[in-house]
Amino acid sequence: MKPQQIDGFSDYVNGSVTVALAEDVGPGDLTAELVPAGQLAQAKVLAREDCIVCGRPWFDEVFRQLDATITVDWHLDEGERIEAGHSICTVSGLARSVLTGERTALNFLQLLSATATTARKYIDAVAGTRATILDTRKTIPGLRLAQKYAVQTGGAQNHRLGLYDAVLIKENHIAAGGGICKTLETALKLANHVLVEIEVETLDQARESLEAGAHRLLLDNFSNDDLAAAVQLRDDIAPTITLEASGGITLANIRTIAETGVDFISIGALTKDLQAIDLSMQFDIQAD
């Protein structure tokens, strides 16, 4: 399910913006009071680097909460690519309100555009292979659904949203649960129609997990040769089980990883190693 299709997503956007404005504006914007109360302004948001634009719902909500008379005229759709130097949108209304919302609105747009842009780079890198790019739970606390939304906007797909919608058995679960077979057996009984995935570190563990009936194997830090061997092992033992590669994946090596035949590649860098897209808001003060 897409994050924006989850019940309460609009409330989530509203709540995210409410928190962001509270920490930035607090009881009031002292500097904006230097501007005459009735002064009108129009401001353009410009991209200073090529990017995939993402974050319109949060940007709009910032100004909706501050001043419902402000209008935002978008020059492109969510998820579209824009080149450096081009205008993303125009914000019009009372100068005080536009100034107060500028930083918070841009923060959302810069962060989420960075996530979407990074996702698109990885998508482009594996084009023509069978691999699907996934995100992880390595997200900014409080902004998980926002970043998951941005990942999809960039063309990649979401892994589980949280601990509640899939089972991912890792090394410590295996140790505490009595081994691969016993832990998988318990998980498959309790899973109730959700994905049951297990992280493995060797081909022997992969074989054991395939034979135990896991839905998906997470191949952690496998070499390309071992990834290819795991694909062959899967094809021989249980062709319907999917394989996911993770660990140490970059734009420089992802193509060769995808070419081993794995079904999924999960990348924490989509949401945790981000440099915000460089955007700016340029004002044009209007005469009374």
CATH code of 160's domain: 3.20.20.70
Q: What residue numbers bound the domain in which 93 lies?
A: 3-119+274-286
Residue 153 backbone class (left: φ over 0; alpha: ψ -120 to 50; beta: rest) = alpha
Asked about 138 being catalytic, the answer comes back as yes
**38 & 63 share domain:** yes
> Which member of 2, 48, 81, 103 is catalytic?
103
Both 145 and 263 in a single domain?
yes
Q: Are residues 185 and 53 part of one domain?
A: no
170: annotated active-site residue: yes
Based on the residue annotation, tell me whether 201 is a catalytic residue of this protein: no
Same domain for 25 and 109, yes or no, is: yes
Compute how many other C-beta atoms are within 10 angstroms of the C-beta atom of residue 231: 19
Quick one: 261 and 212 in the same domain? yes
Residue 273 falls in the annotated catalytic set = no
Both 100 and 160 in one domain: the answer is no
Confidence at residue 288, expressed as pLDDT on a 0 to 100 scale: 57
pLDDT score at 231? 98
Q: Are residues 244 and 168 in the same domain?
A: yes
Token pair recorded at residue 34: 């230097």
Domain identity same for 128 and 245: yes
For residues 68 and 204, membership in a common domain is answered with no
Q: Please tell me the total count of domains within the chain.
A: 2
Residue 285 pLDDT: 75
Q: Using an 8 Å Cβ cutoff, are 135 and 266 in contact?
A: yes
Task: Specify the pLDDT at position 176.
Answer: 87
pLDDT of residue 287: 58
Give the residue ranges of the chain where pLDDT is below 50.
Answer: none
- What 3-state class would DSSP assign to 7? coil
Q: Are residues 177 and 85 in the same domain?
A: no
220 included as an active-site residue = yes
Burial class (CB in 10 A: 0-12, 13-18, 19+), 60: buried
Q: Which H helix or E strand runs over 220? A: strand 216-220
Q: What pLDDT digit, counting tens, does each position of 133-150 carry?
A: 999 999 999 999 999 999
- pLDDT of 54: 98
Separation of alpha carbons 190 and 193, rounded Å: 9
Which residues lie closer than 8 Å to 51 by C-beta, 6 or more apart?
81, 82, 113, 114, 116, 117, 277
Catalytic residue among 199, 216, 234, 244: 199
